């Protein structure tokens, strides 16, 4: 038995921890996957994004689920809406932020620690975790735990199917230019519009121009305790919160 040789190989190839992007679903812990629940209740290191000075939505969802002694890593965004998206500084600041987060998580994984990175909705659907994933790929072991998206909870809350038969579903960001929104709204059968917030007036104008306004629904805080569902026209003139989704149902082929 060559103990010295085995030790040398262990030191040369240390066991590294795994970084897991864990989807938490739309906000209701009851809609979380069994795998996500199991991982959270045995976690040693948990990381999550949040706005400075806030608890963070992802952290709120898992309240009461984490074991005692878990190490929490709060990754606080340096900017959110303070700088316009088309300002070159926006990408520069966020890129540096994600690089810093990546280095921190890689250091933990290199030291043998498994880390759960909490992701609202699904980790691979318009989430911040994707920016860490692409930077960590090839450097440390990675795993994705998929989840129900926020838009799934939103159309379920309306009580009507989102697509029928051959309907084309388009997912649009309220941050898009108004002309792009209008064109895509005209071309699609069913619509989901996300990232609304301060963009609500632009979204309203685009829906009117596309002839879809009267069919639009507004769902705020889907699957959360303060969920509201109403026709968008009933919320005329009101600014909507960040966690808002506009739904326009398809009316396609059916038996």
Per cent of the chain over pLDDT 70 is 92
The CATH superfamily of 3-148 is Tetrapyrrole methylase, N-terminal domain (3.40.1010.10)
Beta bridge partners of 116: 20, 46
Q: Spell out the domain ranges in the chain.
A: 3-148, 151-248
Q: Does domain 151-248 have CATH number 3.30.950.10?
A: yes
The number of beta carbons lying within 10 Å of the beta carbon of residue 46 is: 23
Condensed to tens digits (0 to 9), the pLDDT of residues 161-212 reads 999 999 999 999 999 999 999 999 999 999 999 999 889 999 999 999 999 9
Condensed to tens digits (0 to 9), the pLDDT of residues 32-58 reads 999 999 999 999 999 999 998 888 999
Condensed to tens digits (0 to 9), the pLDDT of residues 10-21 reads 455 578 999 999
Rounded mean pLDDT, 104-118: 98
Give the DSSP H/E element, type plus range, for residue 105. helix 88-110
pLDDT value of residue 55: 87
Same fold across 3-148 and 151-248? no
DSSP per-residue codes, 10-70: HHHSPPPP-EEEEE-BSS-GGGS-HHHHHHHHT-SEEEEEEETTS--HHHHHTTTTSPTTP
């Amino acid at each position: 038995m060559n103990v010295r040789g085995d030790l040398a190989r262990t030191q040369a190839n240390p066991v590294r921890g795994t970084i897991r992007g864990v989807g938490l679903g739309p906000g209701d812990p009851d809609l979380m996957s069994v795998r996500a629940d199991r991982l959270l209740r045995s976690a040693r290191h948990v990381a999550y994004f949040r706005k400075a000075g806030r608890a963070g939505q992802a952290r709120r969802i898992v309240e009461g689920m984490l074991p005692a002694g878990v190490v929490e890593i709060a990754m606080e965004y340096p900017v959110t809406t303070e700088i316009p998206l088309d300002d070159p500084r926006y990408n520069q600041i966020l890129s540096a932020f994600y690089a810093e987060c990546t280095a921190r998580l890689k250091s933990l994984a290199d030291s043998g620690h498994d880390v759960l990175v909490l992701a609202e909705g699904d980790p691979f659907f318009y989430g911040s975790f994707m920016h860490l994933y692409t930077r960590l790929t090839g450097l440390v072991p990675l795993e994705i735990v998929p989840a129900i998206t926020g838009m799934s909870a939103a159309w379920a809350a309306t009580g009507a199917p989102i697509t029928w038969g051959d309907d084309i579903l388009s997912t649009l960001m309220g941050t898009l230019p108004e002309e792009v929104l209008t064109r895509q709204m005209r071309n699609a059968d069913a619509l989901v519009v996300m990232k609304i917030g301060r963009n609500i007036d632009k979204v309203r104008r685009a829906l009117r121009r596309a002839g879809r306004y009267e069919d639009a629904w507004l769902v705020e805080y889907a699957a959360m305790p303060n969920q509201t569902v109403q026709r968008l026209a009933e919320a005329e003139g009101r600014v909507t919160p960040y966690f808002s989704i506009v739904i326009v149902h398809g009316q396609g082929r059916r038996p």
